[in-house]
Amino acid sequence: MQYNIQGDMLPVVICTLRPGECMITERGSMSWMSPNMYMETTTNGGIGKLFGRSFAGEAMFQNRYTAMNGPGLIAFASSFPGSIMPFNIAPGHDIVLQRTAFLASEPGVELSVFFQKRFGTALFGGEGLIMQRLSGYGTAFAEFDGSIITYELQPGQTMIIDTGYLAAMDATCTMDVQSISGVKNVLFGGEGLFNTTVTGPGRVYLQTMPISAVASALLPYIPTSSD
């Protein structure tokens, strides 16, 4: 499989497949394709994985697209202004994503649910109790909000992240929460009560325009109905 990511803030990944090669995607993610691409809706792993994907914020069923009788082409576009990132998944190199980030992958990549081990992190960290985990082997694509900034954290090195800005991290990283100190900072700082902390070793991927921040910025401009 070869791919090319095009577009700026509304990107699309265009995949060129050899005969017999296939891609797995969520329902409704296909944007365009050549006529020789054969689609099959599948649970892709049985009932257990089906419900696991549901908990992870994805559709219970997935679509498998296979190039038949020659090379094929298929494209997957982002659903929100932002970025599409490729990840090379291999044994020992799992990736943890924000909920609903998965876009498409080669069939050797497994999408599963990732539960936060610490309840406080899930409750106050802003990333939620459930995230997504990519494991197995192959190339996967994920969509994020805005641009992506990547940091390589050394063992014990920590990054403090505001709510919603964590897009993904290597599974070797750990998450926690940190309360904002100082009464004035809490009351007047506008940053809430808690921040998310990610500690290495591993890469952390930060998004510059979380959809939650966009919604908050647009809220004052949305007219309300008058009584």
pLDDT in tens, 125-136: 444 567 899 999
Q: For residue 61, with 0-12 CB atoms within 10 Å meaning exposed, 13-18 middle and 19 or more buried, which class applies?
A: middle
Question: Looking at residue 128, what is its pLDDT?
Answer: 52
Question: Looking at residue 125, what is its pLDDT?
Answer: 45
Question: Looking at residue 188, what is its pLDDT?
Answer: 38
Question: Looking at residue 163, what is its pLDDT?
Answer: 80
Q: Are 167 and 103 in contact (CB under 8 A)?
A: no
Q: Which residues pair with residue 59 across a beta bridge?
A: none
SS3 103: strand
**Dihedral sign from CA coordinates of 150, 55, 214, 144:** positive
Grouped pLDDT means (10 residues each) for the chain, 227 residues: 92 97 87 96 58 49 93 94 95 92 94 67 51 94 95 97 91 82 42 77 94 70 67
Question: Looking at residue 180, what is its pLDDT?
Answer: 57
Stated pTM of the model: 0.82
Main-chain phi, psi angles of 199, to 5 degrees: -120, 135
**Tokens encoding 136:** 């197995």
DSSP state of 183: H
Domains of the chain: 2-217 (3.60.160.10)
Q: For residue 85, with 0-12 CB atoms within 10 Å meaning exposed, 13-18 middle and 19 or more buried, which class applies?
A: buried
**Tokens encoding 60:** 């219970």
**Tokens encoding 73:** 């082409």
Question: Looking at residue 45, what is its pLDDT?
Answer: 54
Reading phi first (left if > 0) and then psi (alpha if -120 to 50, else beta), residue 45 is in left
Question: Looking at residue 226, what is its pLDDT?
Answer: 52
Distance separating alpha carbons of residues 35 and 41, to the nearest angstrom: 17
* Distance in angstroms between the alpha carbons of the first and the last residue of the chain: 57
